[in-house]
Amino acid sequence: MDLLQRNKTAIGEQSKEEQLKVFKVSHDDNKLTTNQGLYVASTDDSLKAGSRGPTLLEDFHFREKLTHFDHERIPERVVHARGFGAHGYFQVYESMGEFTKAKFLQDPSKKTPVFVRFSTVVGSRGSADTVRDVRGFATKFYTEEGNYDLVANNIPVFFIQDAIKFPDVVHAIKPEPHNEIPQASAAHDTFWDFVVSTPETAHMIMWLLSDRAIPRSFRMMEGFGVNTFRFINNQGKARFVKFHWKPLLGVHSLVWDEAQKLAGKDPDFHRRDLWDAIDSGEFPEYELGVQLLNEEEEFNFPFDILDPTKIWPEEITPVKLIGKMTLNRNVDNFFAETEQVAFHPGHVVPGIDFSNDPLLQGRLFSYLDTQLLRLGGPNFHEIPINHTIAPIHNNQRDGSHRMTIDRGVTSYSPNSLNRNYPKPASETEGGYAHYTEKVEGNKVRERSESFKDNYSQATLFWNSMSAAEKEHIIEAFHFEVGSVMDRNIKQRVVDMFNNVNSQLANAIALGVGAQPPNTPSGSGVTASSPAVSQENTIRNARTRKVAILAENGFNYPELTQVMQTLKANGIQCEIISKNLGILTSSDGLQLEVGKNYVTTGSIKYDAVYIAGGQQSVDSLVIQGDSLHFVNEAFKHAKAIGAANEGVNLLRASAIKEVAMAGAATQAQLVTELGVVTICNAEDMSVFSKEFMKAISQHRHWYRQNKKEVVPA
What is the rounded distance in angstroms from the CA atom of residue 39 to the CA atom of residue 673? 67
Question: In one letter, which amino acid is 659?
Answer: A
Angle, helices 166-173 vs 358-374, to 10°: value is: 60
H or E element at residue 562: helix 556-568
Chain centroid, CA 236 distance in Å: 35
The answer to whether 392 and 403 have CB atoms below 8 angstroms apart is no
Closest CA to 684 of 556, 581, 577: 556
The answer to whether 262 and 603 have CB atoms below 8 angstroms apart is yes
Instruction: Provide the phi-psi class of 250: left if phi over 0, else alpha when psi is between -120 and 50, else beta.
Output: left
Strands (E), 402-452: none
**Looking at the predicted structure, is the pLDDT value of residue 466 above 60?**
yes
For β-strands 320-330 and 135-143, DSSP reports them as unpaired
Tell me what pLDDT residue 13 has. Answer: 46
Tell me what pLDDT residue 711 has. Answer: 82
Tell me what pLDDT residue 662 has. Answer: 61
Q: Does the global pTM surpass 0.85?
A: yes
Query: 384-392: long-range contacts at Cβ-Cβ below 8 A with a sequence spacing of 24 or more?
Result: 384/336, 385/115, 385/336, 385/337, 385/340, 385/341, 386/140, 386/147, 386/340, 386/341, 386/342, 388/142, 388/146, 388/147, 389/113, 389/142, 389/143, 389/144, 390/143, 390/144, 390/145, 390/146, 390/147
For β-strands 545-549 and 607-610, DSSP reports them as parallel
Q: Which residue has the higher pLDDT, 3 or 546?
A: 546
| CB-based burial, 454-481: b 16+ in 10 Å, e otherwise | bbbbbbbbbbbbeebbbebbbbbbbbbb
H or E element at residue 582: strand 582-584
**Highest mean pLDDT: which of 19-23, 43-47, 248-252, 366-370?**
248-252
Neighbours of 327 (CB within 10 A): 24
Lowest mean pLDDT among 13-27, 143-157, 172-186, 496-510: 13-27
Closest CA to 197 of 162, 220, 169: 169
The answer to whether 110 and 91 have CB atoms below 8 angstroms apart is yes
For β-strands 352-354 and 320-330, DSSP reports them as unpaired
Tell me what pLDDT residue 3 has. Answer: 39
Query: Hey, which residues are catalytic here?
Result: 80, 153
| CB-based burial, 413-424: b 16+ in 10 Å, e otherwise | eeeeebeeeeee
Chain centroid, CA 240 distance in Å: 25
Tell me what pLDDT residue 23 has. Answer: 45
- CB-side exposure of 352: number of CA atoms within 13 Å? 26
What average pLDDT does range 533-543 have in this prediction? 96
What average pLDDT does range 317-335 have in this prediction? 98
Contacts of 33 (CB under 8 A, 6+ apart): 27, 39, 40
Tens of pLDDT along 265-291?
Answer: 999 999 999 999 999 999 999 999 999
Handedness of CA 41, 43, 49, 51 (dihedral sign): negative
What is the rounded distance in angstroms from the CA atom of residue 686 to the CA atom of residue 323? 37
Task: For the sheet with 669-672, list strands across it.
Answer: 595-596, 572-577, 545-549, 607-610, 639-643, 675-678, 669-672
**Looking at the predicted structure, is the pLDDT value of residue 8 above 50?**
no
**Looking at the predicted structure, is the pLDDT value of residue 111 above 80?**
yes
Neighbours of 672 (CB within 10 A): 16
Handedness of CA 598, 602, 606, 609 (dihedral sign): positive
> Would you place residue 357 in the very low, low, confident or very high pLDDT band (cuts 50, 70, 90)?
very high
What is the rounded distance in angstroms from the CA atom of residue 154 to the CA atom of residue 222? 5
Beta bridge partners of 556: none
The answer to whether 137 and 221 have CB atoms below 8 angstroms apart is yes
Tens of pLDDT along 578-617?
Answer: 999 999 999 999 999 999 999 999 999 999 999 999 999 9
For 56-97, the DSSP string reads PTT-HHHHHHHHHHHT---PPPSSS-SEEEEEEEEEESS--T
Lowest mean pLDDT among 9-18, 189-198, 559-568, 660-669: 9-18
C-alpha Rg value of the chain to the nearest Å: 29
For 251-280, the DSSP string reads --B--HHHHHHHHHH-TTHHHHHHHHHHHT
Say whether 116 sits in a helix, a strand or coil: strand
> Would you place residue 71 in the very low, low, confident or very high pLDDT band (cuts 50, 70, 90)?
confident
What is the rounded distance in angstroms from the CA atom of residue 409 to the CA atom of residue 407? 7
**Looking at the predicted structure, is the pLDDT value of residue 477 above 50?**
yes
Length reported for the chain:
712
Handedness of CA 301, 306, 310, 316 (dihedral sign): positive
Tens of pLDDT along 421-458?
Answer: 898 898 999 999 899 988 888 888 889 999 999 999 99
What is the rounded distance in angstroms from the CA atom of residue 650 to the CA atom of residue 640? 9
The mean pLDDT value of the chain amounts to 93
Distances (CA, A) of 599 to 483, 578, 593, 629, 639: 31, 10, 12, 13, 21
> Would you place residue 694 in the very low, low, confident or very high pLDDT band (cuts 50, 70, 90)?
very high
Share of the chain above pLDDT 70, in %: 94
Distances (CA, A) of 290 to 224, 241, 387, 422: 10, 6, 27, 36
Distances (CA, A) of 334 to 243, 250, 375: 27, 27, 15
The answer to whether 269 and 240 have CB atoms below 8 angstroms apart is no
**Looking at the predicted structure, is the pLDDT value of residue 39 above 60?**
yes
For the chain, list the domains and their CATH numbers: 1-17+394-426 (no CATH), 83-158+202-386 (2.40.180.10), 453-535 (1.20.1370.20), 541-709 (3.40.50.880)
110, exposed or middle or buried, with CB in 10 Å at 0-12, 13-18, 19+? middle
Closest CA to 514 of 480, 489, 534, 539: 489
| CB-based burial, 392-410: b 16+ in 10 Å, e otherwise | eeeeeeeeeeeeeeeeeeb
What average pLDDT does range 234-241 have in this prediction? 97
H or E element at residue 545: strand 545-549
**Looking at the predicted structure, is the pLDDT value of residue 693 above 80?**
yes
H or E element at residue 294: strand 285-294
Tell me what pLDDT residue 18 has. Answer: 53
Contacts of 648 (CB under 8 A, 6+ apart): 617, 621
566, exposed or middle or buried, with CB in 10 Å at 0-12, 13-18, 19+? buried
Distances (CA, A) of 2 to 7, 404, 407, 419, 420: 9, 23, 14, 10, 13
